[in-house]
Amino acid sequence: MKKVEAIIRKSKYSEVKNALHDVGVNFFSYWDVTGQGNEKEGHVYRGVSYSTSDIQRRLLSIVVNDDFEEITVKTIIKAASTGEVGDGKIFVSDINQAYRIRTGEKGRDTLN
């Protein structure tokens, strides 16, 4: 099993969510996060432009079976990409085991 974590633009969340559902990834968690990166967002308040290094993003956490890793990553890249600096990052790590709390099942079947 793999854990795919993606940090994406908040404005692209709906597109990414719908694209993931279209390929069969129906369960994931997400959080609103703030970070710093190469992109600098500017804010305008009362006609004055302010630059800030804090960037608002959405963090998706998705656990998939090994055979779904590539399609999950490709789907996120396709749906989240604008071609501009600040599109985000994807991190993939191994998951050693998963358990379904309700039944006590363990292994890859817990993701279905």
d(CA 111, CA 2): 11
The residues, any chain, with a CB within 8 Å of residue 80's CB and separated by 6 or more, are: 6, 8, 9, 12, 15, 16, 87, 88
pTM of the model: 0.83
What does the pLDDT read at residue 43? Answer: 61
H or E segment to which residue 91 belongs: strand 88-94
Residue 18 has what pLDDT?
98
pLDDT tier at 27 (50, 70, 90 boundaries)?
A: very high
Does the pLDDT at position 46 exceed 90?
Answer: no
68-93 residue pLDDT tens: 999 999 999 999 999 988 899 999 99
Whether the predicted pLDDT of 105 surpasses 70: yes
Question: Structural domains in the chain?
Answer: 2-111 (3.30.70.120)
